[in-house]
């Protein structure tokens, strides 16, 4: 068997997330079904992570094995795949990797972005969280700057998550404003993320931006190591997985 | 009664166009219903034009009369209107105008844009026409440059249109490429447009871009003054009404 990475994007609105579910349409399920049809052999994908129901990905990576060693040379494969699959999924690339390359374990960093629309925009209802109340950007950025000082994000993890550790190394976390599109974007990069973590972090920072908490409160919240100390999760439609980085050695 | 202009945007996907229809949800119908409710008097809107089913507007203007002369001073009116109306419509502004100002007859120019996605993009399925075949941009721009030499656009008007004349003065018509978003955009400005005209012009230029016709063929097409000489209409999801210009004197 030969191993490949597949790069894709999807609009999460109509999916029950990335990962296969017994009841519900998922990105993994749709891709596996269409790829099994095209490759005429069972295809099982291993994603770089999982995204929740309604969360988008402008860049997602998964690996799979196939008996052919020339899949990436078949110029019509991508075309057929994109024709057959939902218009909510776009496959960008399929390329060979080392036989032990792993989309999840080899990823050295992941980046998420969270989009907030500050004014009603009929073109982004499904693509951003619409929140028209004034937000204190300076307070939110003060809180964001504190995040990378910590590594244990238990306070922002799903209550019954089954992760072995709750440790994450954050390399960036900041809010930016796009004056033209009247949107705010939060960008966060880490070696790994806990389940529901970005939405819990964003939800907590929004409470800071709305004046319900102080920027420095984020320290007590993290140090409590208790999900109930943090704010409610921000809704899924604003969240995008935007990048996953692999070491060069993964490539064939 | 006091006259006002209302500025708005809408995503046309789920509407049967701007104009009131006996069967079908329209932007005008939705706005009139909600405004009548809020102003507690019947509100009738006169739009700057009409857009077809599925066509978007990032800027649309209409006028209406109301008994209050201070509507524009009610800071909560816009807020309530946007809360009550569909998330596919956003109202930006309501401002007083001269009592004889007319959203349709006073408009001195209108601008439309047509968006084409060159690669599959799950985030723009409803917001652009997806066309992945190679397009000869130079040929399309050669044809676009010829358009403003003519004023009679009968060949691009709906067969049983009821316009008095088919004359339009074009002031701009060009294609541009956005390398980052992998989209092509056609921009066209004129004092007025015939029904279905922009989509017929774009459809014809796409046939030129695909090599089915030559750029210079556009002359014979226009000179034929016959709809059947032109190409098929481009689909609605790529089309946006983006600007409507009024003379200063319209303002109060």
Asked whether the predicted pLDDT for residue B57 surpasses 80, the reply is yes
Where is the domain boundary, B70, B105, B140? B105
**Based on the domain organization, do A177 and A154 belong to the same domain?**
yes
Considering its fold, how many domains does chain A have in total?
2
Q: Closest by alpha carbon to A2, among A115, A74, A99, A91?
A: A99
Would an 8 Å CB–CB cutoff place A125 in contact with chain B?
yes
3-class DSSP state of A200? helix
Quick check: is B251 in a domain? no
String of DSSP letters for A35-49: HHHHHTS----EESS
Residue A130's closest chain B neighbor by CA? B87
The C-alpha atoms of residue A208 and residue A189 are separated, in whole angstroms, by 21
String of DSSP letters for B77-105: HHHHHHHHS-TTEEEEEEEEB-TT--TTT
**Based on the domain organization, do A87 and A11 belong to the same domain?**
yes
Question: What CATH number does the domain containing B204 carry?
Answer: 3.30.70.660
**Based on the domain organization, do A101 and A128 belong to the same domain?**
no
From A56-70, A109-123, A156-170, the region with the lowest mean pLDDT: A156-170
Asked whether the predicted pLDDT for residue B103 surpasses 70, the reply is yes
**Based on the domain organization, do B138 and B217 belong to the same domain?**
yes
Residue B82's closest chain A neighbor by CA? A120
Catalytic annotation present for B52: yes
pLDDT in tens, B207-217: 999 999 999 99
Contacts of B29 (CB under 8 A, 6+ apart): B20, B21
Would an 8 Å CB–CB cutoff place A180 in contact with chain B?
no
Token pair recorded at residue B185: 């955009």
**Based on the domain organization, do A159 and A223 belong to the same domain?**
yes
Residue A38: C-alpha distances to residues A34, A42, A82, A116, B132 (Å): 6, 10, 11, 39, 21
**CA quadruple A54, A89, A58, B210: dihedral positive or negative?**
negative
Q: How many Cβ contacts (< 8 angstroms) between chains A and B?
A: 46
A chain contacts of residue B10, beta-carbon cutoff 8 Å: 122
Query: B238 φ, ψ to 5°?
Result: -90, -10
3-class DSSP state of A161? coil
The C-alpha atoms of residue A57 and residue B189 are separated, in whole angstroms, by 36
3-class DSSP state of B56? strand
Quick check: is B68 in a domain? yes
Mean pLDDT throughout A126-139? 97
Contact yes or no for B32/B216 (Cβ under 8 A): no
Asked whether the predicted pLDDT for residue A25 surpasses 70, the reply is yes
Q: Closest by alpha carbon to B48, among B8, B94, B84?
A: B8
The C-alpha atoms of residue A166 and residue A194 are separated, in whole angstroms, by 7
Would you put residue B109 in left (φ > 0), alpha (ψ -120 to 50) or beta?
beta
Mean pLDDT throughout A63-68? 97
Residue B162, pLDDT score: 65
Token pair recorded at residue B174: 């060009």
Is A87–B10 a contact, with Cβ atoms under 8 angstroms apart?
no
Asked whether the predicted pLDDT for residue A250 surpasses 80, the reply is no
Residue B163, pLDDT score: 67
**Based on the domain organization, do B26 and B55 belong to the same domain?**
yes
**Based on the domain organization, do A120 and A170 belong to the same domain?**
yes
**Based on the domain organization, do A80 and A135 belong to the same domain?**
no
Asked whether the predicted pLDDT for residue B242 surpasses 80, the reply is yes
Question: What CATH number does the domain containing A52 carry?
Answer: 3.30.70.580
Helix (H) or strand (E) holding B170: strand B170-178
Q: What is the CA radius of gyration of chain A?
A: 19
Quick check: is A252 in a domain? no
Quick check: is B10 in a domain? yes
Residue B68, pLDDT score: 95
Where is the domain boundary, A105, A129, A159? A105
Where is the domain boundary, B105, B140, B173? B105
Residue B158, pLDDT score: 82
Give the percent of chain B with pLDDT over 70: 97
**Based on the domain organization, do A93 and A114 belong to the same domain?**
no
Q: Closest by alpha carbon to B184, among B248, B101, B121?
A: B121
**ipTM of predicted assembly, 2 dp:** 0.86
Contact yes or no for B118/B128 (Cβ under 8 A): no
Residue A164, pLDDT score: 79
Find residue A10's DSSP bridge partners: A57, A89
**Based on the domain organization, do A176 and A74 belong to the same domain?**
no
The C-alpha atoms of residue B38 and residue B66 are separated, in whole angstroms, by 11
Contacts of B213 (CB under 8 A, 6+ apart): B204, B207, B231
Would an 8 Å CB–CB cutoff place A22 in contact with chain B?
no
Average pLDDT for chain A: 95
Asked whether the predicted pLDDT for residue B109 surpasses 80, the reply is yes
Average pLDDT for chain B: 95
Residue A75, pLDDT score: 83
Side-chain half-sphere of B32: how many Cα atoms within 13 Å? Answer: 19
| Chain Cα centroid distance, residue B92 | 17
Is B121–A89 a contact, with Cβ atoms under 8 angstroms apart?
no
Contact yes or no for A4/A102 (Cβ under 8 A): no
DSSP tag of B207: H
pLDDT in tens, B110-132: 999 999 999 999 999 999 999 99
**Based on the domain organization, do A140 and A238 belong to the same domain?**
yes
Residue B184, pLDDT score: 98
Quick check: is B252 in a domain? no
Residue B156, pLDDT score: 95
Quick check: is B90 in a domain? yes
Residue B141, pLDDT score: 98
Residue A37: C-alpha distances to residues A23, A31, A73, A106 (Å): 21, 10, 18, 28
Place of tokens 């006028």: B63
| Chain Cα centroid distance, residue B33 | 22
The pTM of the full predicted model, rounded to 2 decimals, is 0.89
Residue A181, pLDDT score: 93
Would an 8 Å CB–CB cutoff place A124 in contact with chain B?
no
The C-alpha atoms of residue B52 and residue B229 are separated, in whole angstroms, by 22
Would an 8 Å CB–CB cutoff place A117 in contact with chain B?
no
Quick check: is B63 in a domain? yes
Is B122–A90 a contact, with Cβ atoms under 8 angstroms apart?
yes
The C-alpha atoms of residue B6 and residue B62 are separated, in whole angstroms, by 5
**Based on the domain organization, do B123 and B181 belong to the same domain?**
yes
> For residue B79, what are the domain limits?
2-105
pLDDT in tens, B149-190: 999 999 999 866 566 788 999 999 999 999 999 999 999 999
Q: Closest by alpha carbon to B137, among B176, B169, B99, B83?
A: B176
Choose the catalytic residue: B52, B65, B100, B106.
Answer: B52
Asked whether the predicted pLDDT for residue A48 surpasses 80, the reply is yes
A chain contacts of residue B56, beta-carbon cutoff 8 Å: 123
pLDDT in tens, B193-212: 999 999 999 999 999 999 99
Token pair recorded at residue A189: 């990069």
Quick check: is B248 in a domain? no
């Amino acid at each position: 068997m030969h191993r490949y990475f597949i790069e894709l994007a999807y609009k999460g609105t109509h999916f029950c997330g990335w990962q296969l579910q017994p009841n519900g349409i998922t990105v993994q399920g749709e891709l596996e079904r269409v790829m099994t049809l095209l490759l005429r052999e069972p295809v099982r994908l291993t994603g770089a992570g999982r995204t929740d129901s309604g969360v988008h990905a402008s860049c997602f990576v998964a690996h799979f094995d196939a008996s052919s060693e020339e899949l990436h040379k078949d110029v019509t494969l991508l075309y057929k795949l994109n024709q057959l699959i939902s218009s909510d999924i776009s496959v960008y690339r399929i390329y060979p990797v080392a036989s032990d390359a792993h989309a999840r374990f080899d990823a050295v960093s992941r980046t998420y972005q969270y989009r907030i629309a500050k004014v009603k925009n009929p073109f982004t209802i499904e693509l951003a969280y619409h929140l028209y109340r004034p937000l204190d950007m300076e307070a939110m950025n003060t809180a964001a700057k504190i995040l990378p000082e910590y590594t244990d994000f238990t306070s922002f993890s799903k209550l019954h998550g089954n992760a072995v550790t709750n440790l994450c190394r954050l390399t960036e976390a900041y809010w930016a404003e796009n004056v033209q599109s009247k949107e705010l974007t939060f960008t966060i990069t880490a070696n790994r993320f806990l389940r529901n973590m970005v939405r819990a972090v964003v939800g907590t920072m929004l409470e800071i931006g709305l004046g319900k908490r102080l920027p420095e409160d984020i320290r007590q919240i993290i140090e409590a190591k208790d999900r109930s100390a943090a704010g409610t999760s921000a809704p899924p439609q604003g969240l995008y997985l935007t990048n996953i980085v692999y070491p060069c050695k993964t490539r064939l």
